[in-house]
Structures are given as C-alpha cells and as structure tokens.
Structure 1
Amino acid sequence: MSSASATIAAKGGTTTGAAPKARADAARNRERILTAAREAFVVHGAEASLDDIARSAGVGNATLYRHFPDRDALIHGVMHFVTERIANRAALALEQEDGPFEALRSYAFGAAAERIGALCPMLSGRFDPSDPECLEARTRIEKLTKELIRRAQHAGEVRDDIDVGDVMIALSQLTRPLPGVGCQRIERFVERHLLLFLDGLRAPAPSELPGHAATLEELRPKN
C-alpha cells in the first residue's frame, strides 16, 4: 500500500468511491435546480427569483451559482434540459410502445408535460436558439418526431396529409397559456385539448385539410 493510501485508510477513508459519489450528488443537484427553474420560469417568467429556485430545489444559493453562475446560464441550462428530455421521450416512445399511434400519443403527452410552449415565449430573448447544444437536441426531436409520424402513417393509423411541423405547432400552442390566463389555470385543459388534437390525426380522415402540411423549413426563421 502506498503511503498516501495508508494515510487515507488510517483515517477511515477510501481511495475509491468518493469522487463518483461527489459527481453523482452534483448531477442530482443540477437536475433538481433545472426542474425547479423550469417550474419557476413557467409560473413567473424569466425574472423568477433565483433564491426561490434554489429553495425549491433544496439546495443552497452557493450550489445554484456553482452550476449556473448567472441567470442567462440557468435559462440556457433549462432550455437544453427541456429539449433533451423531449428528445428522450420520443426515443423511449419509439422503443417501448407497441402500436405506432400509441407511440405518437405517448410522446405527445410526454412532450406537453415539459411545457415547452409556455417556456419559449418567456425565454426566447434570453438565449441563442442557434446554440450548438440546443440545436443538436432540437434536430434530434425533429427527426424522432418525423419517425413517429412516418410509422403511424405507414400503419394506416394517422392521416397522410400531416407532417412533423403540424405536430410541433400543436405541442407548442397547446402548452402555451392564453393571454391574461396564467399557466396554472390552463394546465388542467392541456391533456383534454391534446387528446382532441390527436383524435384529429387518426385515419381515415373525416375531412380534407386546407392548404398543405406544415414543414419544418416553413417554421424556421428566415435570414
């Protein structure tokens, strides 16, 4: 045994395990902060109290600032956290759900639970949407959503005249509060209206949609 190892052992310590535990604790604290910040931003907007966020997360202010040195860093972290979780929900739906429509349904409800429609209008001026980290997660969401739709259409369970943009618009709009109506008051209707939308996707379609399917290219801002 080396002298350093002997010293640690004599003090009742160990040469392994401490660093992984510290990293795991730090990762859990980071996730608690991001979850609390997401809820706070949905309810109070981008100027939500950082002290209250730390308190809700069950950590001290120093821990919050160690992970996120300022408000903009926290907002960036929340947006990446949410988009990554939505992408993971899509991947999980593709992997675990038996039926194509059930996979799309599971993903839509999971994505709505992340409240992306409420967050984006509040935070859009505080982070760069072309940031590589967020762009990568968004691209992954788009690809997985398109695959969910393609499978359901191929199985004859979803109408052929829709595209990924139609689903992305609906998820954004249905999780966005109405003007003058707080997020908490509108949340109880989200699942109801999301199910109405999903039923409208089913094939055979009872009516013909005007115009054409919304594509991602049309939704992206023009330079």
Structure 2
Amino acid sequence: MTDTLQTCTTATAGCTRASAPRLRADATRNRERILAAARELFADEGADVPLDEIAKRAGVGNATLYRNFPDRTTLIHQVVLSVLTSVLERAKEALADEGDSFEAISRYVHAAADERIGALCSLLSEHLKLHEDEELLSTRTELEHVVEALLIRAKRAGRLRPDVGPGDLFVALARLTRPLPGKECLEDAMFIHRHLQLFLDGMRAPAPSVLPGRAATVEDLRRV
C-alpha cells in the first residue's frame, strides 16, 4: 500500500513538473498578446483607449491583463520599452550586416516603421517621464549610438550624403510613422513605407541639392 501511495505521489509530482513549463509558456504568450494589442490600439486611438478593449483585442480576460499590468502607466511603460527594445535589436542587426551600408540603414528604417515607433512620441510626452526612467533612457541612448554608428559607416563608404545626422533620421521616422489625427486618416499606414523610401532616397550620396540649415543631432532632439 505504501509503495502504491508513493508511486501515485511521484506520478502526481511528475505531472506538476510537466505542467509548470506549459503554464509559464501560456502566461508569456498572454503577456505578449496584451502588449501587441496595446501597441496597436495606443497607436491608432491614443493612450486613453479603455483597458477592457485592449484585453478583448488580446483575447484575454480583464483579470489576466491586470495581473500582468496593474495600471495604465505600467502598461504604457512596458509597451514603450518593448518597442524601443525591438527597434534597438533591428538597428544592431543592421550594424552587424557587412553588406551595403546604405541598404542596412534602409532595412532598419523600414523595420522601425513596422514597430509603429512614431506613436511613442505622445506616449512618452504625455504619460511617462523619460528622464526619470533609467531603463527607458538607457535603451534609447543605446539606440541613438547604434544609429549614429550606422550613419557614420555609410558616410565613410560614400553611400550617405554628409549633411545629414541621426537627428534628421529620427525626426523623419517619427513624423512619417505617426498616425494622422482623425478616424478618417487611419488608412495612411498604406503610404508609410512608400514615403519613407522617398525620404531615404533623398539621403543617398551624391546629394542632388544643398540642404538648408545643419544636420540635426540627438542633442538637438533632447533639447526639444
């Protein structure tokens, strides 16, 4: 009897150990679905979209959302961090590419556009204090350094016009990937990659014209 009880207990423990990874995987997938849904709705409708709507879009219950993100500010923070981290990874991949230096920049820009990075501007300015958030600040700073390295490499190769800076790239990317106001303008997403390519073609060397003013730096953006 004792042997039988021990066998059952061991089997139960085995089932518990086997189910634990599955539960953790489900929790991870739920969290990722919530972040993806929040990013889409924040970009399209703004940061004040009802959290219930985010949960519905993610296909999870309200309790699951609040278990992962206890309040709106926490969710916004994690969405911004998720997008910045993803964009940083795309920039690192572009820098590691030993092929055409300008095409590497182009791939990074289009990948950043797919992350809806332009929608971060309002989230950062209205709901988060970037200068007080070390995690967001360090991620953004690293992104700036990697993108600057991308541009320097392309200039040295003679593939990028010398009178542009990383600030020019960040401003254009933010403006061209930010949804226009009004429900009737949501379909502007179909033009984003087209207009980004027009902008990128204008950055190629040799330059067909002289730009007014000077190249924008990341320090210019921080002062703004």
Counterpart for residue 3 of structure 2: none
* Aligned counterpart for 1:165 among listed residues 154, 164, 167: 167
CA contact (8 A) 1:145 1:164 kept: yes
Change (3 A) 1:95 1:21: farther
CA root-mean-square deviation: 2.2
Deviations 1:3-45 (A, max 9, x none): xx96642327257554444333322221111110000111111
Identity %: 53
Structure 2 distance, partners of 1:160, 1:168, is 16
Instruction: Decide which moves more: 170-179 or 16-25.
Output: 16-25
Deviations 1:69-97 (A, max 9, x none): 01111111111111111101111222246
* Equivalent position amino acid for 1:49 in 2: P
Change (3 A) 1:72 1:94: same
User: Which structure carries more helix by proportion?
Assistant: 2
* Equivalent position amino acid for 2:207 in 1: A
Deviation at 1:118, TM superposition (A): 2.4
Counterpart for residue 61 of structure 1: 62
Counterpart for residue 154 of structure 1: 156
Structure 2 distance, partners of 1:143, 1:23, is 35
* Equivalent position amino acid for 1:193 in 2: H
Indicate the SS of the match to 1:220: helix
Structure 2 distance, partners of 1:64, 1:96, is 38
CA contact (8 A) 1:117 1:171 kept: yes
Deviation at 1:219, TM superposition (A): 1.1
Instruction: Decide which moves more: 47-56 or 113-122.
Output: 113-122
Indicate the SS of the match to 2:14: coil
Counterpart for residue 196 of structure 1: 198
TM-score of the pair, normalised by structure 2: 0.89
Long gaps (5+) in structure 1? none
Deviation at 1:128, TM superposition (A): 1.5
Deviation at 1:217, TM superposition (A): 0.9
Counterpart for residue 176 of structure 1: 178
Equivalent residue pairs, number:
219
* Equivalent position amino acid for 2:92 in 1: A
Q: Does 1:71 align with 2:72?
A: yes
Counterpart for residue 221 of structure 1: 223
TM-score of the pair, normalised by structure 1: 0.89
Structure 2 distance, partners of 1:65, 1:37, is 13
Change (3 A) 1:30 1:96: farther
* Equivalent position amino acid for 2:99 in 1: D
Deviations 1:144-203 (A, max 9, x none): 111111111111111111111110011011112334465622111111110010000000
CA contact (8 A) 1:165 1:219 kept: yes
* Equivalent position amino acid for 2:155 in 1: Q
Instruction: Decide which moves more: 92-101 or 165-174.
Output: 92-101
Change (3 A) 1:35 1:183: farther
Change (3 A) 1:6 1:148: farther
